[in-house]
Every structure is written in C-alpha cells, then in structure tokens.
Chain A
Amino acid sequence: MFFTSVSRDTGTSISRTRTVSRAQPTPVKLRKLLEGVSLWLLVALFLSLHPVYAEATERGEETAGALYFGEPGSRGEQATLLSADYQVTVSGLIAETRLRQSFSNAGQNWREAIYVFPLPEQASVYSLKMRAGERVIEGEIQTRQEAATQYETAKAESRQAATVAQERPNLFTTRLANIPPGEEITVEIRYQQAVRYQSGEFELRLPTTLTPRYMPGAPQVADAPDNWRQGWAMPTTQVADADAISPFTVLPDDLPPGSHQASISLELYTGLPIASVLSPSHSLQSTWDGDTVRVTPTEGAVPMNRDMIVRWLPVRGEAPSAAVFHERWQGEDYLLALLVPGVERGGRLARELVFVIDTSGSMAGESIRQAQAALMRGLDTLGPDDTFNIIQFSHSARSLFPSAHPASAPNLNQAQAYVRGLTADGGTEMAPALARALAAGKERSGRVRQVVFITDGAVGNEAALFQQIEQELGESRLFTVGIGAAPNLHFMREAARFGRGTYTAITDLTTMAKPLEDLFGKMQAPVLTDLSVAWPDDIQSEALPQRPGDLFLGEPLIQVVRGQAAEGKLVMSGRLAGGQNWQQSLDLTSAAPGQGLHRYWARQKINGLLDRSVVTKAAGESPSGTRTEDQVTELGLKYQLVTPYTSFVAVDKTPRREADEPLDAEPVPTLLPKGSAPAMLRYPQTATGAPALMMTGALGGLLCGLLALVRRRTRT
C-alpha cells in the first residue's frame, strides 16, 4: 500500500531529524532507542491532542461531505444563496403577492443563477423588477423568444439581466445573469391568484417547493447534448421539456445555512369580519385591525420545503352566499361574480365508486400513508347499495376486482387488507390506470359513477392526460385528491375540471379528516348539473369559464366577464339531481370595487384557449394550433402577463463584469418536500484530505531531513 510505506519512511525521517538536530555524537544503540521513544511520544502527544483536533476536523469533514456546486479544480465554492420574501395582500377574492427572490453569490466568480420555482396554479405574473444595490430596473413583457434573446445578449455583453418564464401554469423559471462575487441581486415578481372559497371557508395556498415529477417515455437521446441542464432529468419522448421542469431537489442539510428560507406576511382585506385564521401547515400569528387581519408565521422565516396554506372563516352567520366585484381597466368593464347555490342535501343515490391510488416511487414515505388513510375513509362512506373497485398504479395498473363489486362486508374486508398492503415503488404511468378506471363508465349501469384519484400528481405529461380524461370520461365524474407536502396542484385541479369533479388537497395525517369528510360528503350529496349563466348585456362569449362544471354541495359558481357594466341582473340556472330545474339571480348594481379583475379574466381566457388547443390537437384538428399561440401572445402582451409564449425580461444598460472574467451558470436547487422520499439526489462528496495532507507532510519531512543531512555534512 502506498500510504503505509510512506508513513514508515517519514516516521523515521522525522525522528532522525530530531536526534540529528541535537548535533551530539551518540552511540548507535542509544540513537535507535531515542528514535523509537520520540516516535511513540509523538503518537501519544497526538492521541492526547486528538479531541481538540477532532472538533476542528469534524467541521472540515462536514464541508467536504456537504453538497456544493463546485467547479473543476476549485475549492468547492458554496452555492448561490437564496431567500424569498412573500408579501400577500388579499382583497375580496383576489390575492396579490409581491415575491422577492434574493440571490446572493458567496463565491469568487461571477454567477448566473437559474431557479425553477412553483407558483400557485393559475397564478398571473404581471410585473418584474430587478434590484441590484441602488439600481432598480423595470422588466418588460416580451414574446418568449424575444425575452430569451435579449437576456442572452445582455448576458454575453456582461450586463446584468433577469427574466421570468413560464414552464407550466404552476412552474416558472427565474434566470439572473452576472451576479458579482459577494453581492446580492433581488428579483421582484408580482403575481395574483384567486382565493378559493368553499363551504364557507376561504383558502389560499403558497407553494414554496415542488415534488420531483416522473417523466414517462423513453429518453430523447438524439438532442440530449443541447438540452442538458446540469444534472436535470433528460427530455423524454412524452415530456419534451423534462429538463426544464426538474431541478435538483436537495435535503435541508445539503444547503449552506440560511439558504432557502422564506419570510411570509399576509394582509387580508376581505370586507367581511373574519372570525379566525388557521393553517394546517404552519403555526401562524394573526393581528386584527378592524376588518383587516395581518398574518405571519410564528417562527419568522420558514424553510421552503412545503406549501403554506392559510384559511380564514368569516364570523358565523356572515358567510357570503354571493359576491360581485367590478373594475374598469383601459375603458372596459370587468365583473367577477360568485354565487353559492342554496341547495339542501337531498336523498342518497346508488353509486359506483372507483378508487385509483398512486403507488409510484414519488409517493414513498409519508405520502403513501396519507393516501392509504384517505382510501380507508372513502371505503367507510360506501353504502349497502353502492359498488366499488380499487385500482393501484405505478409502472402498470392493477385492480382489486376485475369489475366493480357490491360493498358487502366480506368485499370491504378484502379491500381494507388490500389497501394496508400497498407499498410505493416504481414509475408514475397514469394513463393505463385512467383508462381502466374510465373504461367501465362507457356502459350505462344506472348508477352515479365516481372516480376518486389519489395521487401527488408528480407527472410531466399533464396535457396528454387531460386529453385522455376529456375523451374517455363518458358519464363518470373524476375527483382528485392531492397528497403530500407539495402536490402538483395544476394537474389536480385541471384533471378534476376535465373530469367534471372537484379536487381536494390533504397535507398531513392529522388534519386530513375535514377535507376528506367534505369531499366524500359532497360526493354523496346531489349535484347541480347543466349550469348556464345569462348576463344582462347578453355577452355570453366574454364570460368565463365558458362551460361551468357541475356544482357540489358548498361549492360556489364563479364567473368573470369583460364588457359588462355593473347594472342589471345575472341569472344562473341548472338542473338538480332529481331532475327539477333550479334558477337563481344576482343583482349586479351592488358590485364592490375590485382589483386585478382584468388579469383574472385574461388568465381565464388564456387557460380556455390553451385547453381548447389541447383538446383539438387530440381530435386531430391541428391547424388551429398556431392561431392559439398568436391569440395567447396577444393577450399576454396586452394584459402584461407571463404565459407559455410571453416572458418578462429586465436588462441593465451598462456592462458590470470585465469581459475576461468567467461567468458560472448555477442551477439553484429546490428543497425536497417535507416527508417525501427523495427521487433525485446529488452525489455526495466521497474523498478526504488524507492523501494531500500525508503527501505534504511526507514531502516536508523529507525536505527537512535532507536539509539536516546537508548541514551535518558541511559541519563535519
């Protein structure tokens, strides 16, 4: 062995230099003895010093084991540090958020930070500012292509630049070029989202991280080199942009201290007296000031490893059953109307329930336990007239029974045992499971057919799945249940919308009872179908969503419209489960002033256009594809929104970096959602400084020995 031989050599050379340096003629025996003694003394000295040294090295070794974004040959520089600041203002049904992402460069080189981050599904990003020291640069909306070009040009010309682009409706990328060493640049994004109102309770979700998604399909090896992002999933045949939507996910210990912390504050101006503010995810501190409530997490900065959920309840008896907001923007009227149909719970209907449970690898850990508990609860709600089946899927789909069986005691016992035995493993191939769940619905059984889909939605091929749901749905209704600390809400909600059902999110085992009770209660309750909405000015084409889905107990009907003045009456009608007609009207003159309605409308419009292109593409009517892109681009530019085809870009005028200084690109990782097992990990650091230290010691010792020899030669 290399080390042992060296150690013997230098061991003696050290002791020799010691004895030699006394410069006394000693007998050989004595010298040998001294050599031995001094060697042992050294070892003893070292062992006694070891505790002190160990403390020092443990730290050294920790840094060696920690996961840094090193460049070849450098001393493992630390990653770009990230902190986020969310300031949310809720007025009425719209929440506006100012999100500041600060990237500080702790390294020696100039850096480019690339950060993929989640926003609430349906978020409309409408402003970008870049702050570097005193300078503030306003971003402009451009077509995606143009924004990318401007950004790349600025980057190449050593100017500071920032851009925000949309990868998925709930997934965005910030790129920030030329961060000077030791400095911090802040990217300020403003976005708005709709507040969810259901069963008398308002809810707002702030996602801070994302569950790594499964990318079905075979890798597209042909164009891999171009599309490689450092360490990210490769594009596959079904998910062409897999690399752009799968950043590294890391554990908190793998990050430099202080990175990935978010400070969050909310202000609720709802116009209603608020009774209580709750969060199933974080502990909150709320202060009341009239009708306004300020909310912050008790612990101050929170790690960005799970979604923050805030719910607030109006004072008892004041839960609104209708609301109208009005805004004038660029000479046009925008109206947002909300109506809770006052429908009472009716009689039971015989149902066929199909539970589909995701047992893929991304569900491992806490998630699968939540899913199992949710499924158990679902089984409990089955009545004696109902039939049911359970389908589990990972790489492939398997079902408990070949077809739906009656909910008899032996069948239920068998199902419970089956559910308890589920383990999470493998890929997330949803398509076969969906096909199996929806296939039986094609023939009419006289029952209400409901599919409960329990998953974390960690897939990249959402569009293809929406197509499939739209095509195969038949008479079934699809209900999605989102599991885990950071489910893919975009998928959940849209799948439920295409499936004409609802989605429910559960975050942990202790608080899952209420949302599930609501869901299963709702599924037993009668539904309001064939909804239609009549506006006084007869502008149906500008009202969104165009085709309102079915309504369940406690759910409001929400419509947003352009070009409708705040006068007249809005009439909504539909059909109850029993077949009777239902109608209700809403007076528009009582509209309260609202904010951001035009953006909400534009976002709905864009979603509608994109949904339609998904469906028409599936039907083979592709020529409208390019027109959709033009329409969306036009809307994005007019309403200043980030869309799949428009991005914000902020570019500095003056170069900051000397042309010969290098620029390192660095993907900023996201934290692994709390409680889930990691799917993509960084390689750990697996070498010690031992060889280098021993080499230095040995060489130095040899040198000293040589010097001593030379000195003795010259003296004698």
Chain B
Amino acid sequence: MPTKNMLQAINNALDIAMGEDDKVLCFGEDVGSFGGVFRATSHLQEKYGRARCFNTPLVEQGIIGFANGLAAQGSVPVAEIQFADYIFPAFDQIVNETAKFRYRSGDLFNVGGLTIRAPYGGGIAGGLYHSQSPEAYFTHTPGLKVVIPRDPYQAKGLLLAAIRDPDPVIFFEPKRLYRASVGEVPEEDYQLPLGEAEVTKEGTDVTLVGWGAQMEVIDRAVELAEKDGISCEVIDLRSLLPWDQDSVAESVFKTGRLVVTHEAPRTGGFAGEIAAVVQERCFLYLESPIARVTGMDTPFPLTLEKEYLADHLKIVEAIRATVNF
C-alpha cells in the first residue's frame, strides 16, 4: 500500500471527490493554481479547470456565504478557510446560516453538500493567530457536524465521508501533522463513518479520549504509563458533533477512569461536555474523578508555547493521578 502524508491524503480525497462528481468544487484563498498555502489543493485546478477549483478574494464571510448559496443550489462546495484562526469573519454564515438552513425552511432548502476545511492547532510557533483550536465554538451549534482526523488514512476516509454526507461538515485538519504524519493510504475510494469513535488501543485501567493531533500526544503518554504497569484504553473521537457517547461510556464501564485531553482552553472546552455525559451515564462505575488535560484559559502563547500545551508529560501525570486516586 502506498504511503502518504496527511496533505497528500487530503489532496487525494479531493481529487477522488472531484473526479467522481462534477458538482464538487474546491475554492478559497490561494487555493487555485498555487494549490493552497499548504498545498492541499495542488493540481486540482490543472485537472478540473478554473471553474471548479479557484482562488477567492480575501473574504472569509464571502467564501462561506458563497458556499452556502452553492450548496443550496445543489452543488457540493468544499470551501477552504486558510487557518481555523481566520474562520471568525464567517462565523455568522456558519452559525446562523449553514447550521440552520434545513431547519428554518422545513427542509425546503438545505446546504448539506457543504464541507468547510480548515487547518487548526498549535505546536508550530504560530502564536495567537496560527494555533487555535476553535472546535468548541462549533460543537455548540446544532445543525453542524464537526470532524477532526488524526492521520493520513483517517483524513482521506473521513473527508470523503464529509463531502458526501447529507449535512454540512466542518473538517478541522491538524496542521502540525500535515507533513509529519505519514502512513499507508489505499489509492482507492473509501469512507470512514462520521459520528463513530475508534478504539485505537484496548486496555483495562483507564480510558483516554482525544482527537486530531492530540492522539499522537496521547500515544506518547500511554507509552510512559504502560511502563508503570498501567493498562490504557485509547479512543479517538474523530467526530465531535455528533459524538459517539456509546463507545466512550462502554469503555468507562470497563476501566472506571477517564482522562480527556484537547489543545483548546479548558473552560467551555469539549472535554467538559464529555465529562458531563460520562458522569451521567457511568456514575456508579467511576473509580476517580474524570480528568481534563487541556490548554490554559488564555490566548495561545508563543515563547511559552511548550509550557502551555497539553503535552504527554501532563497527560501521563493525569493518568497516574487518576489511577492512584
């Protein structure tokens, strides 16, 4: 099986989607002949023409408003926002329009064809405005789906599923792993299910839940914990909205302990939602408080990024504290 990095896998998924369906369009800032600032859309304009893969003017609210209209018309837009940090001018279009299009019209109209791609996350010396993980703003918005892949195989399968899904999807791509994450990716078309978590490692003492770039960090922490003789079960949520409550609850029934981790700040972060649901569903099975390992409640720093990040050492300490409670 050929190996690809995450960018190549995403590019491959877009190529398959555009090749299969003339209605699929890719656009955004610098997306056209240049192929995007990260090159996720390389060669798509060459292959499918300027009408289907193109640069937009520099206006995020315009990109998503335009994409909403296209999707309502029956096209299948895959709109790129260059950095998740720059998605906010489009917040109104996403929260008030994309998410509510079907509901408010009684299903007369919908924008289900829409997929919004945006690189997110830190660890790249990007400071305040090239590092954010804004997923929780969107998980608080019924009508959207929120999907985050952890590696190239997942990225291709989940992106193809997102493009073909009957509902609008925000697809956050962990940019720290764009070139760093390399793995086997089948050439052929395949999809991975939205709304389903994956148990990436089975264990008995503690459950770890994360998504996106945090999965690699969890793996490093688990390696350390297992040296202490702690058996860890690891779950990649993959979809945050809707999220797979059953898989997480089932795991916690078994382990009795849960550590949730994300890069985003703690307060109002998605770990809080997971903790709330797990205590509702697993209260009598819990052996210790549910732990959160997250970013701090500050804007994303630069010089002190290493200190700020929810890294493997902070996670392994949380695992130990949870197990030794």
A and B are interacting partners:
no
Which B residues are closer than 8 A to A by beta carbons? none
